């Protein structure tokens, strides 16, 4: 997983991860996410299949996630985080 940060927005690229590995990495990252991070753009891709996309949109659960949004990019899901 690759992480890029721009202020209160973080981009996490999970290309190449297995479903279980990506779920573990995202859950762990969310548990230690800085309090000032408000948005997480999860880049999961879409041309190589839908397993990672479906995991992020349906299986990924965490107390910091306020909502999930589908973006115009089918290879990305936006997570809006709750304040700590």
Per domain, the residue ranges of the chain are 2-72
User: pLDDT (tens digit, 9 = 90+) per residue, 29-43?
Assistant: 999 999 999 999 999
Q: What is the DSSP string of 6-74?
A: ETTEEEEE-TT--HHHHHHHHHHHHHT--TT--EEEEE--STT-SHHHHIIIII---TTEEEEEE-SST
Mean of the pLDDT values across residues 56-66?
97
* pLDDT of res. 52: 95
Q: Is the pTM of this model over 0.85?
A: yes
Q: Which of 40-44, 62-66, 71-75, 78-82 has the lowest mean pLDDT?
A: 71-75
């Amino acid at each position: 997983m690759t992480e890029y940060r721009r202020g209160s927005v973080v981009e996490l690229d999970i290309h190449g991860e297995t479903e279980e590995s990506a779920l573990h990495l995202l859950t762990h990252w969310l548990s230690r996410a800085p309090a000032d991070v408000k948005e997480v753009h999860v880049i999961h891709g879409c041309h190589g299949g839908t397993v990672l996309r479906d995991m992020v949109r349906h299986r990924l659960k965490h107390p910091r996630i306020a909502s999930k949004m589908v973006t115009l990019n089918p290879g990305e899901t936006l997570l809006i985080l709750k304040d700590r």
